Homo-oligomer: A and B are copies of this chain.
Amino acid sequence: MKRTVKIGGVSVGGGNPVAVQTMAKAAATDIKAIIEQAAAAKEAGCDIFRVAVPDMSAAAALREIRRNIDMPLVADIHFDYKLAIAAAKNRADKVRINPGNIKKAGLKELTAALKDLRVPVRVGVNGGSLEKSYKNSSDRASALASSAMDAIRLMEDLGFYDIVASLKSSSAAETVAAYRQIDKLCQYPLHIGVTEAGTPERGIIKSAAALGSLLLDGIGDTVRISLAADPTAEVKAARELLRAVGLDKSFVEVIACPRCGRCGYDVGGLAQKVEDYTRNVKKPLKIAVMGCVVNGSGEAGACDLGIAFGGDKAVVFKDGSVLKTVGADDAEGCLFEEIKKLLL
């Protein structure tokens, strides 16, 4: 288990639930836009919100932003460690720095300031901005991990341990290999992500493959799915990923068969209706919508509620037992009647 690091009111690592992050797409100085994006992200299930801080006016805006969002605020810093110090002074709950573009002397001064201000840091290495000494390494995963460990050791030498680490690559394989390495090398919480994953259509699949692999192996304490899309799209995808790998159980999971030649009923349409109807329910429930007897009774019987079609009939299961058998025409009505009871 990783060390616990407190980012404002959210604890990460130490067995805490995996936190979902996203990042504002607006400039920090456009405070109104930032607050709107944060509110929408929070509504979608975001736990931690990050803002780019490219200059001192952005750093100054953090104080006002902080007062108006109800999530921990992370300042994203590149190139200039003084911006990170200014962000920490302006109430950022964490600063993210990139060891690929901040010199050692600056890192030392920043570490002393963060220790003093009691603000945690994310050492965020990125494949697109690796430090020069690692840039041309043929083993990119090791280079990512080594770059982060260099910065972490520098901070530890100064007695600072409020650290989160991340090693992002735009390659799924490289991302997984890098995180597996650093997971063995340090006890700090890991923020996981695939960088520049792309459009939602492809970026979600690439991120789910890499981050799903890590999460299923217990690696990852906070997660971001970086998409060329709105922050809410990133948050929704990350939430679905946590659900998919069993780390977020507070929702209605719909187990639905893909349908084959055994079933003439539109089970996909029914499954979609059940999913839409239960989308905002935060209870840990499972509902199966199955087309035939092959896996129907097995899956439906293992769920809180289930329906399995067969010929012109459908069998409704509840808590592992057959509740009733109805005609296929009455199946949808009967299923929703039971769903309503279940959600009471």
Contact = CB atoms under 8 A, between A and B. Distances in A.
Choose among A101, A198, A227 the residue with the greatest number of B CB atoms under 10 Å from its CB.
A198
A173 B246 contact: yes
B28 A261 contact: yes
Interface stretch (A106-114, A155-163, A294-302): A294-302
A78 B254 contact: no
Interface stretch (A38-46, A181-189, A233-241): A233-241
Given A24-B261, A196-B255, A275-B198, A298 B241 contact: no
B212 A256 contact: no
Interface in A224-256: 226-229, 234, 237, 240-241, 243-246, 253-256
A110 to B, nearest CB: 17
Contact of A245 (B30, B173, B255): B173
Contacts of A215: 209
B129 A198 contact: no
A256 B172 contact: no
B255 A198 contact: yes
A216 B208 CA distance: 12
Given A128-B294, A171-B246, A246-B172, A198 B260 contact: no
A219 to B, nearest CB: 11
Interface in A196-228: 196-199, 201-206, 208-213, 215-217, 226-228
Contacts of A101: 294
Given A172-B245, A295-B126, A25 B258 contact: yes
Contacts of A120: none
A19 interface: no
A256 B207 CA distance: 13
A209 B23 contact: no
A256 to B, nearest CB: 4
Given A241-B209, A259-B228, A294-B101, A198 B254 contact: yes
Interface in A133-148: 135
A274 to B, nearest CB: 9
Oligomer copy total: 2
B196 A76 contact: no
A323 B231 CA distance: 32
Nearest to A268: B228
Contact of A210 (B127, B212, B240, B254): B212
A173 B228 contact: no
A130 interface: yes
Contacts of A98: 294
Interface stretch (A7-15, A51-59, A324-332): A51-59
A257 B127 CA distance: 12
A196 to B, nearest CB: 5
A176 interface: yes
Given A50-B260, A209-B212, 6 more contacts: A52-B261, A98-B294, A198-B256, A202-B254, A209-B244, A226-B258
